[in-house]
Amino acid sequence: MSRDALEQNQIPIYFVAVIAAAIGGLIATAAAQSLNALVTPTIAVLMYAMFLQIPFLDLRKSLSNKRFMSALLIANFVLIPLLVWALTRGLAEHPAILIGALLVLLTPCIDYVVVFTHIGKGDSRAILAATPILLLLQLVLLPVYLAFMLGEQSRVVISIAPFAEAFLALIVVPLLLAVATAALAKRSRFVGRWNTVWAWMPVPAMAAVLIAVVGSQISPVVRDIDQLLPVIPVYIGFMLLAPVVGALASRAYKLPASTARAVTFSTSTRNSLVVLPLALALPEEIRGLAAAAVITQTLVELVGELVYIRAVPILIWRKKSR
């Protein structure tokens, strides 16, 4: 199979990966739990593969795009929190899953959103340039949002350590390795061949991430599904409405198609794998269900992303805005 054929068939490849991982996770529960240790390494490999495809000299230009940054930040930190607040009002009687839902829905993704944006014909370089700002703002604003939306249940201590560790492992290290590889490729024929081989890797690496995440997490979700039922409509509502928020913000700032798609993917993709340690650090009486709520969002989002990568390039305007 050629590289082009691999990329053209990525959607059915991802569907097969998700279905196989779900079946395997339910049949061989003990073995599937061991996949949990592979989640971070597989995402790191995926990010390295993606970073190798990005011309880093253009990143400064992307970050200086004030219209893009304004649309991205207002959508993620003003409009999306309002949407989340409205969607989660019905969970007030379920504090554990409310906290889990808020943790995951209020935090924009800083890692594999770059991959989905690239696959969905968006400006992945612009999203990559914005990741440090997205990370810092969610660190600052998440406790504020939780205090407002949880009310009397807001005695939740949020540690920045999981965010910082995830940013280092999933963004900084793969990024530095990719930059070093790109620099050495100009001087070494071996590294040049290495680069060529890794150009094939984004699709298989994404499939590996899906297998690790779904396979390791499907069992606890199924076990607690009766308690998690109230949050599923919230996640489906978010999956349907978050892209609209991104598209409207992009329209308001008259963004061209590629950056509009980037904003849309950012508003629709959440930081589930990074906030999972936060859920596991909650008080014992709520941590299990809160973590399961975060994992449930991951599973719903993965299905949504497979739709987004096909739908967003079609639905977000093709002609460049003036």
User: Is residue 100 assigned to a domain?
Assistant: yes
User: Is residue 260 assigned to a domain?
Assistant: yes
User: Is residue 295 assigned to a domain?
Assistant: yes
What CA–CA distance (Å, rounded) separates 162 from 157?
A: 13
pLDDT class of 58 with cuts at 50, 70, 90: low
- pLDDT, residue 278, reads 75
Residue found under tokens 């944006």:
117
pLDDT, average across residues 193-215: 87
User: Is residue 121 assigned to a domain?
Assistant: yes
pLDDT at 158 over 70: no
- pLDDT, residue 321, reads 44
User: Is residue 321 assigned to a domain?
Assistant: no
Q: Which domain does 54 fall in, by range?
A: 3-315
For the chain, report the end-to-end CA distance as a whole number of angstroms. Answer: 40
Across the chain, mean pLDDT equals 85
Phi, psi (5° rounding) for residue 88?
-95, 5
pLDDT single digits (tens) 134-147: 877 887 898 889 88
Q: Are 117 and 252 in contact (CB under 8 A)?
A: no
- pLDDT, residue 322, reads 41
The more confidently predicted of residues 115 and 305 is 305
Q: Tell me, yes or no, if the pTM score tops 0.85.
A: no
pLDDT at 223 over 90: no
- pLDDT, residue 320, reads 47
Q: Are 254 and 232 in contact (CB under 8 A)?
A: no
Number of domains in the chain: 1
pLDDT class of 59 with cuts at 50, 70, 90: low
Nearest to 271 by CA among 130, 102, 118, 148: 102
- pLDDT, residue 47, reads 82
- pLDDT, residue 250, reads 95
Q: Is 108 helix (H, G, I), strand (E, B) or coil?
A: strand
* DSSP label of 230: G
pLDDT, average across residues 295-301: 89
Range from 26-30, 60-64, 109-113 that averages highest in pLDDT: 26-30
- pLDDT, residue 39, reads 84
pLDDT, average across residues 234-260: 96
- pLDDT, residue 155, reads 57
User: Is residue 231 assigned to a domain?
Assistant: yes
User: Is residue 138 assigned to a domain?
Assistant: yes
Half-sphere exposure of 197 (CA within 13 A, CB side): 8
What CA–CA distance (Å, rounded) separates 107 from 274?
A: 9
Give me the CATH number covering residue 177. Answer: 1.20.1530.20
pLDDT at 56 over 70: no
User: Is residue 262 assigned to a domain?
Assistant: yes
**Weakest-pLDDT range from 53-67, 207-221, 257-271:** 53-67
pLDDT single digits (tens) 72-86: 999 999 999 999 999
- pLDDT, residue 303, reads 87
